[in-house]
Amino acid sequence: MMNQELKKAIDQICKDKGLDTEMLIETLEDAVKTSVLRRYSEDIDVEVTYNQDTGDIEIYQFKIVVPDEDFENDDREIAFSKAQQHDSSVQVDDEMGFRINIDKLGRIAAQSAKQVIIQRLRDAEQTNIYNDYRERIGEIVSGTIQRRDKGGLIVNLERTEAILPREEQIPKEHFRRGDPIQAIIIDVHKEGRGPQVVLSRSHRDYMTALFRREVPELDEGIIQIMGVARDPGSRAKVAVFSRERDVDPVGACVGVRGSRIQNIVQELRGERIDIVIWSADIATYARNALAPAQVSRIVVDDANNLLEVIVPDDQLTNAIGRKGQNVKLAARLLGWKVDIFTETRYNEASSTAHSNIEQLASVAEVSSEALINAGYTTMDKIRAATDDELVAALGLTAQQIGNLRSALNFLATDEAQKAARAYGGHRADGGALPGEGAEAVPEAEGVAD
Q: What is the pLDDT of residues 377-422, one digit of tens each?
A: 677 777 777 888 777 777 778 888 787 777 777 766 555 444 444 4
pLDDT at 35 over 90: no
Residues β-bridged to residue 146: none
CA distance 361 to 355: 10
**Domain 3-131 maps to which CATH number in 3.40.50.2300, 1.20.140.10, 1.10.1660.10, 3.30.1480.10?**
3.30.1480.10
One-letter identity of residue 322: R
Domain 295-449 of CATH type 3.30.300.20: yes
More confident residue, 243 or 408: 243
Q: Evaluate if residue 434 carries a pLDDT over 50.
A: no
Residues 6+ apart with CB under 8 A from 126: 194, 195
Rounded to whole angstroms, the Cα distance separating 216 from 259 reads 13
Q: What is the mean pLDDT of the chain?
A: 81
pLDDT of residue 241: 95
Fold for the domain defined by 204-278: GMP Synthetase; Chain A, domain 3 (3.30.300)
For the entire predicted model, the pTM comes to: 0.64
Q: Does residue 160 have a pLDDT over 70? A: yes
Cα distances from 131 to residues 22, 190, 307, in angstroms, run 17, 10, 45
Percent of the chain with pLDDT over 70: 82
List the domain boundaries for the chain: 3-131, 136-202, 204-278, 295-449
| Domain at 136-202, CATH homologous superfamily | Nucleic acid-binding proteins (2.40.50.140)
> What does the alpha-carbon distance between residue 165 and residue 355 come to, in Å, rounded to a whole number?
55
β pairing state of 57-66 and 77-79: parallel
Domains 204-278 and 295-449 share a fold: yes
290 has pLDDT over 90: yes
Q: What is the mean pLDDT of residues 198-221?
A: 94
Q: What is the pLDDT of residue 108?
A: 58
Q: Is the dihedral of CA 294, 300, 304, 305 positive or negative?
A: positive
Q: Which of 25, 90, 201 is nearest to 82 (CA)?
A: 90
Whether the Cβ atoms of residue 133 and residue 184 lie closer than 8 Å to each other: no
Helix/strand/coil for 196: strand
Cα dihedral 356, 362, 364, 367 sign: positive
- CA–CA distance, 370 with 91 (Å, rounded to integer): 105
Cα(308)–Cα(296) distance, integer angstroms: 11
Q: What pLDDT band is residue 177 in, cutting at 50, 70 and 90?
A: very high
